[in-house]
Amino acid sequence: MPVNAPVSANFWRLSVAPMMDWTDRHCRYFHRLLTKNTLLYTEMVTTGALLHGDVPRHLRFNAEEQPLALQLGGSEPSDLAHCARLGEQWSYDEINLNCGCPSERVQRGAFGACLMAEPQLVADCVKAMVDVVSIPVTVKHRIGIDRDESYDFVRDFVGTVSQAGCTTFIVHARNAWLQGLSPKENREIPPLRYELAHRLKADFPELTICVNGGVRTSDQVAQQLQHVDGVMVGREAYHNPWWLSSWDAEFFGCAPALEMTRERVEELMVAYMEREAAANDTPWYSVARHMLGLRHGLPGARRWRQVWSDHRMKTLPAREVLARAQQTADVAG
């Protein structure tokens, strides 16, 4: 197999971050309606879940979601190689190794951010995956762990792992504090230091360096792209998804995925809910929860959101809930 390499200069230009309990296949289908070029990521899938669990449940996706990356959590090279091979067989476009999650549960599994303390092990994991797949193998990591804020730490980590064949690094520009902070606090309390990601790009110009953390506006994306190769957006993409509808034109120089309104997106999602209910017995509210930010910032958004999230509506068909929600929006407008 060839050593993994960037598939195109713009492949990692803009992406939506892997977010546990959020970026499932329903969420990704919704996001793909809004942007056709942005790279999407799965939730983190542990090697144990694939080795001992229901592989189709964890790996199946809608073809419309591509380009799509599978994020893996694990620290055993042979297990990761097996799971990376599964990812390629299921037609994912990239395999990403999580070296950034600071949760105690992940630490107990000996992976996530704590792996940054063992760069040679990460390199061994990467090499094991690179050796068995032809799609890119990438790493998402922090700039440091605990209170060590030296640039040397992250520089040496990237240097060691890149020698194993990883050419793309997604850098969450905060330290991960492994004790004393919740995952939410770890996204907010350690200070953002984008300059370290910028230094990585300067020191490793041959690598693709993307930045993640705290990016909430198109101006901030454009500013970061002056220094690095790509930007990964997390919570803001989820809570304010209509922002994604501008990305294709703004950052990829092409027409939007669809010339449409929020109402049209909502209708397409209801059609998707109906297909999912028929094919997989998926309740519509499991899908609808991901689009509750669609009217973010508009008059009546709160009342529209209340209709879609009202537990009393769960027994109604999705199309009837759509009618009620749009009626509420029309009144507000």
**Tokens matching residue 242:** 């209509």
Q: How many helices (H) and strands (E) does the chain have?
A: 16, 9
Q: Which helix (H) or strand (E) segment is 310 a member of? A: none
Catalytic pick among 101, 125, 166, 210: 101
- Segment (H or E) for 21: none
Query: Residue 259 carries which DSSP code?
Result: -
40 touches 67 (CB < 8 A): yes
Strands 137-145 and 230-233 come out as unpaired
171 token code pair: 């850098």
Which helix (H) or strand (E) element contains residue 46? strand 45-46
Query: What does the alpha-carbon distance between residue 315 and residue 60 come to, in Å, rounded to a whole number?
Result: 27
114 an active-site residue?
A: no
The C-alpha atoms of residue 327 and residue 333 are separated, in whole angstroms, by 10
Q: Measured between alpha carbons, how far is 291 from 212 in angstroms, rounded to an integer? A: 22
CA distances from 34 to 200, 211, 221, 311 (A): 31, 22, 17, 27
CA-CA distances (angstroms) from residue 116 to 47, 79, 227? 18, 19, 24
Region for residue 146 given its phi and psi (left: phi exceeds 0; alpha: psi -120 to 50; beta: otherwise): left
190: tokens are 């350690």
Question: Catalytic residue positions?
Answer: 101
